[in-house]
Amino acid sequence: MTWGGMTVRDLKLCFRGCSRSALLPVLLLSSPGLWLPQAASAADAASAPETRITVREPLPYGHQLGDVVVREITVYPSDGASVAIKALPKAGRVGTWVELRGIETSSADGGTRLRLEYQITNVPDGVRTVSLPEFAVPLDNGSKVVRLPVIPSFITIGPMTPGTVLGRDRLVEIQDDIAAPLVDTSAAEARVRNTLLACLLPLLALVYCWTPWERLLRPQRPFARALREASRVREAADETFWPVALKAMHAALDASAGRTVFPGETRALLARQPAYAKLEADIAAWLGESRRVFFGDGAYPERSRRADLLRLLGAARSVERGIQ
């Protein structure tokens, strides 16, 4: 049997004489009978144009799991023929050891270069020689597609780790986990801080409004202290209420004026605290009432007037707090 003028034995010898470590010219003499519907004569076969194939093989050793192995096949078709790109195999797992990641095609000096990219997907127990998947170049002359086989390629695959590992330094069977990278949380912290501050402001406003400042600032609020003392004995007998309430009023007036305020001397208070001008008449009236109780006939005012004195002390407290 002949193939493009060559016997099967000649083809075998051609394949055996090829080297995988360099450019490998594979001369495949093609007869028109390979793809034409009718058989050609011996004379036609002798004069048929040649289809040449060169192969660049990958490094045959030193491969492990995950390595990518590239095999380049350049095809120079005969006249009227071309590489059938659509007939090329698709990417995917091929065999036990490798996976075809894809085939890239490009033109090369009148021919077509096929770049077959394989990835090793298995691990042997020891060093093992495996064959890359069989591949045939699909040629099309317009009427029929014929596949020309390419000689197989062998590579060696090694295990990931040796069978025995020295327990020294980092050469141990189990390695510590790599520390996870730190995440920048400054932006998140700023958002949380601003949110907490926004929630805190209303709480601070409530605290300010409901805090009993007159109890916390007793030395600075004389009329608040006087009102509190008078209110504490509001329901007591006249002998208890009026001395306590009037003395508390005098103490508040003296503290506000910075001196002792006698009846008829309310101007001394207004000179230092002009805000009390609206209460001048009431203050003067109660100063006169106090002189009558302590230095006059000693008769206490009517019980209904307790509310008037408490009302005066409350108004004075509002003035010293800046409310009125």
**Dist. CA 38–CA 42, nearest whole Å:** 13
- Say whether pLDDT at 211 is over 90: no
* Run of H or E residues at 130: strand 128-131
- Percent of the chain clearing pLDDT 70 (strictly above): 78
Query: pLDDT category, 217, cuts 50, 70, 90?
Result: low
- Report d(CA 152, CA 114) in Å as an integer: 15
Predicted confidence at residue 36, as pLDDT, reads: 28
pLDDT of residue 299 exceeding 70, the answer is yes
The whole-number pLDDT of residue 119 equals 93
Collect contacts of 160-163 with beta carbons under 8 A, ≥24 apart: 160/64, 160/65, 160/123
Closest to 302 in 3D by CA, of 313, 293, 312: 293
DSSP 3-state percent helix, strand, coil across the chain (nearest 5): 40, 25, 35
pLDDT at position 194: 95
Closest by CA to 276, choosing from 266, 285, 265, is 266
Q: What is the pLDDT of residues 187-210, one digit of tens each?
A: 999 999 999 999 999 999 998 888
Q: Residue 64: name the closest of 6, 128, 19, 148 by CA.
A: 128
Region 261-273: what's the mean pLDDT? 83
Phi-psi region of 110 (alpha: psi -120 to 50; beta: other; left: phi over 0): left
- The tens digit of pLDDT for each residue in 231-260 reads 999 899 989 999 999 999 999 888 888 888
146-167 pLDDT tens trace: 888 888 889 999 888 776 666 6
What is the value of pTM for the model shown? 0.39
Q: Which amino acid is at 5?
A: G
